[in-house]
Amino acid sequence: LESRNIEKPTTSPSTENVHKQPFVIGVAGGAASGKTTVCDMIIQQLHDQRVVLVNQDSFYHNLTEEELTRVHECNFDHPDAFDTEKLLDSMESLRHGRAVDIPNYDFKSYKNNVFPARRVNPSDVIILEGILIFHDPRVRELMNMKIFVDTDADVRLARRIRRDTVEKGRDIGAVLDQYSKFVKPAFDDFILPTKKYADIIIPRGGDNHVAIDLIVQHIRTKLGQHDLCKIYPNLYVIHSTFQI
């Protein structure tokens, strides 16, 4: 057991009140790439585990009164649009077994203080989902697995037009202006460069059932190893290499 590819468990089960750290999965990708569908499918297939979903959207900064008057000039695809410190605080609490209240974001009023906030309890698996969830290294470091949903730009744009006009009630001209002014440049400058951090890249998003099945199998294996380490503290775990 001295050879490479062997990893000592980081938990110390001999300590009383030992807290099992959750398995954290990051799901990034362009807007309307199908991240939500991928997350829903993972959650559905992990039905016997306690899984919670945390959306980066919940951590959008509230706009000031002045910004609300010129909302079409606001860039919601820039890393500064999010309150990353608050996201980190919430994750810190969850990782230490404390429940947190996550704000609900309303895309129509541009406010994240929609009452009531969503109470999120500590769980075995936490899925962090959002366009820029791999941008900040401190957030990336929390993740045990990073998934990038890779969907063609034309598919993302078509979905976005339908979603923003039908669900958000926005004007198509404003949707296209926002896309060319902010969404596309931010994808190229901030989102696409984070693809290199992914452990797994899923082409075609939620349509890729084979990829989702493999991911869920891998998570199950990892969770099983985690539990074994708790029961048998001297057990060493052999790394598995995973590629799609």
For residue 131, state whether it binds ligand CTP (rule: CB under 6 A): yes
For residue 77, state whether it binds ligand CTP (rule: CB under 6 A): yes
- Burial group, residue 129, by CB count within 10 angstroms (0-12, 13-18, 19+): buried
Residue 209 CB, nearest distance to ligand CTP (Å)?
17
Cβ–Cβ under 8 Å, residues 54 and 129: yes
Count of CB atoms situated within 10 Å of the CB of 155: 16
Dist CA 72 CA 195 (whole Å): 28
Q: Which is nearer to ligand CTP, 110 or 242 (CB)?
A: 110
127, 183, 212, 219: residue in contact with ligand CTP (rule CB under 6 A): 183
Rounded to the nearest 10 degrees, the angle between the axes of helix 209-231 and helix 35-45 is: 50
24, 35, 103, 211: residue in contact with ligand CTP (rule CB under 6 A): 35
Cβ–Cβ under 8 Å, residues 8 and 225: no
For residue 60, state whether it binds ligand CTP (rule: CB under 6 A): yes
For residue 208, state whether it binds ligand CTP (rule: CB under 6 A): no
With CA atoms as reference, report the closest residue to 79 among 200, 174, 187. Answer: 187
For residue 76, state whether it binds ligand CTP (rule: CB under 6 A): yes
Contact region with ligand CTP (CB under 6 A), list: 25-33, 86-94, 211-219, 230-238: 25-33
Binding footprint of ligand CTP on the chain (CB under 6 A): 29, 31-36, 57, 60, 76-77, 107, 110, 131, 183
